[in-house]
Structure 1
Amino acid sequence: MQEHDMSWVRTEMALAQAAPRSQVGFGAWVRRNLFATPVDSVLTVLALLAIAWALPQILNWVFFDAVWTGADRTACLTTEQGGQLPVGWTGACWPFVSGRFGQFMFGRYPMDERWRVILTGIIFIALLAPLLIPRVPYKGLNAILFFVVFPFIAFYLLVGGFFGLSYVETPRWGGLMVTLVLSYVGIVVSLPLGILLAMGRRSKMPIVKLLSVVFIETVRGVPLVTVLFMASFMLPLFVPPGMSFDKLLRALIGVALFAAAYMAEVVRGGLQAIPKGQYEGADSLGLGYWQKMGFIIMPQALKLVIPGIVNTFIGMFKDTTLVLIISMFDLLGVVKQNISGDPTWATPQTAKTGYVFAAAIFWIFCFGMSRYSQFMERRLDTGHKR
C-alpha cells in the first residue's frame, strides 16, 4: 500500500496565543457597544453631547453654586429676594436638608427615642445582608429570623410600651422610616400572597379559582389611591364595634393587598411559561400537588419572572408616597410639609433641593434593587451557559 506524506500533520499542540488587540481592551468595548453600527454611532454622539451640555449645569447646581451653611431661608435668598446672595444665584440650598435631616429620616419620632429606630435599622441590615449574599450559609435560619422574628422585634422597638420602652404612637412616625416600613411589609406579605393567588387562579377548583380571579381583577381595576381610601375609611366599618385599627396598619393592609394582586399576575406568567413536561414529570414521580409546586414548578417559575417581581417591588416602593392622601407622611410627604409649611425655609431654592434630595433617596433604593435582580438573573441563568 502506498505510503502517504504526513509531514503536514501537526504533531504538537499549538501554543495559546493572545487575542487580537482589536478584540480586547477598552477600545474594543467601545467599538462593540457604542459604535457597532452607524445608528449606534449617531446615538452615542448625541448622548455625549447631551451629557456635555447637562453635566456642567448639574455639577454647578449641586456643588459649585450651592449654599452649604446657613441657619434659615435668608442664606439661600438672592439679593433680589431680600437675601445676601447675588441675583441669579441658582445653586442648591443644602442647609435646608442638613437642618431638617432628622425629620426627613424619622418624622416626629421623639428625638430621645430615635436610637430605637436606628437599632431596628441595624438589625434589619444585619439580617438582610447575609440573606442577599449567596455564599453565606444557614440561609434557612437567616430567612426565619428576617421574615418571622424580625417583624416582632421591630414592632416592640418602634412602637414601645413593653420592657420599659415608652409608647410612640404611629401618627408621630414619618419620613424614610415610614417608607421603609411600608415597603418591607408590602414585600414580605405580597410575594407569598401573590404566589397563592396565582396558584388559585390556575386551580381546577371552581370556587378557589373564582375567588382568586375576583380579588385580582377587583384590586387591579382600581388605583392605589382608592385602595388606601377604602383601607383607611371603609375597613373600620367591617370590624366589630369597639375595635379600631391603627391608621398605619390600614395603610399596610392596603399596600400589601394591592401589591399582591399585581404579584399574582407576574407569578402566573411564570407558571404559564413552564413546559407541560415539567408537570408531567413531577406527576410521574408520584409527587403531590404541594410537593410538585414547591420543589419542581415554582422555583423555575420564580426564576423566570425575577424582573417582573423586582419591578413590582420598585413600583410599590415608589407608590408609598401616596399615603400622604390619608394624612401619613413618608419621606416625600415630610419633605413637602417642610417646604410648604415651614416659613423658616420657604424659598424656591429649598423646594428644589428638598425634592432633589427625596428623588436621590428613592433612586438609590430602586437602583439597588434593580442591580441586585440583574445579579440574581445572571447567577440563576443555568439554562444557557456561554
Structure 2
Amino acid sequence: MTKNVFSWQLLGLCMIGIYFMGIAAANAAEPASGDLIRALRIDSPLSLCNEPVPLSDPRNKERFEKEMLVSLGNQYQVILWLKRTTRFFPYIEQVLAENGLPGDIKYLAIAESALRNHAGSPKGAMGVWQLMPQTARKYGLTVDNQVDERRSFYLSTPAAVAYLKELHGRFGSWSLALAAYNMGEEGLEAEILEQGITEYYRLYLPLETQRFVFRILAIKCIVESPQHYGIFLDPDEFYPPLAFATVQFDALDEFPLRLVAEAAGTVFKTIKDLNPHIRGYYLTAGSHRLNIPLDGETGFEKRLLALAASDAQVRDRRLYLVREGDSLSGIAKKFDVPLAALLIWNRIPLNAVIHPGQRLVVLPFHPGKDWQTETAVGD
C-alpha cells in the first residue's frame, strides 16, 4: 500500500513538472507583454505605398495595433516570413519597378499567402498572390486540370501586378486598390456609391477587408525592422533564391514528367518544386517552358529526345487490352503493381469505368509475364 501511494505521489510530481515546463516553453516562444506594449509604440508617422495612414484617429490606431499583436503573437510564422523574403522579394521588387508600382506592394504577398506557392483558400484563390481562377485567366494565366499557373510565383507575379495596376487606376488610391484586391472591385465600388465615401479608412466594409490594409501595414513594420520586435536572424539564416535554367521544348503527345527529370539529371520532386504549376505526372501535348536545375541545361534537349524515343519504342509492350470482367484492381493485382500507380499511368480516377477493348498502360514492363497474350500488341 505504501509503495502504491509513493508511486502516485511520484507521478503527481512528474505531471506538475511537465505542466510548468510547458508554461516555460510557451513563455519562451511568445514575446512578453511588456515587449508587445513597447512594440506598439510608433515614434513617427506611418505610410503604405507612399500614402499616409491616419493613425491619429483612435479607431484606426486600434485596428493597426490589433494586426500588430496578432502577427507578433505568432512568431513562428513571422520567422518563416522573414526567411522567405530573400527567396521571393527580389523578383517581386523587379516586376514592381518595371511597372512603376510602389515597393510596399510586396508585403501584400505575405498577407495573402505567407509566401507559399500552394496556398489555397476555401473560395478558390490559389498561389502566392491568391488569385481567383477568373482573375488569373483575365491576366493571361492558364488554369485547368493540367496546369495552374497561379501556383507558379514567376508566372503569377506579373499577372498580380497588372491587376493591381488596373485597380489603382480605377480607384485612385493604393488603400482602395488593396481593398478591392481583397473583396473584389465591384463590391468595393458598390460600397463607395452607397456610402458616398471614397477613403478606405472611413468606409464600412466587410470585416476582413477592414482589417486587410492594416494587416499589410503591420507586416511592413515587422519585416522592415524585425530587431525592433525582438527577432534576430543572421544573413546566412535566410532562404536563398531558387537557381534554375528555363528550357523550352515541344511534346507531340502526352509526355511523362519523369523523363524531364531524367533528362535534367535530377529527380521528379525537383522538377515539381521548380514547376509548381504543372499538375499531376504528365505534360500535355504542345510547347512547354520548364525550369530545371542549372547543371542539367547543357545537352538537355538531346537527352530528352533520346529518352522520349526510347520510351515510345516500348510503349506498345506496356499496353494491356482490357477484357470482359476486368477491373482496375484486378489488373493491378495481375501485374503486381499498385492500384494507385495504375491510376497515375493512365490519368484516370479511382472510380473510372473501364470497358473491354480499352488499352491501359501498365508499368514497369515485366519480362516474366506473357505479354504476347496479355497486351494489345498485334490487335
TM-score range for the pair, normalised by the shorter chain length: under 0.3
**Greater share of helix:** 1
Indicate the structure whose relative CO is greater, using CA pairs within 8 Å and at least 6 residues apart: 1
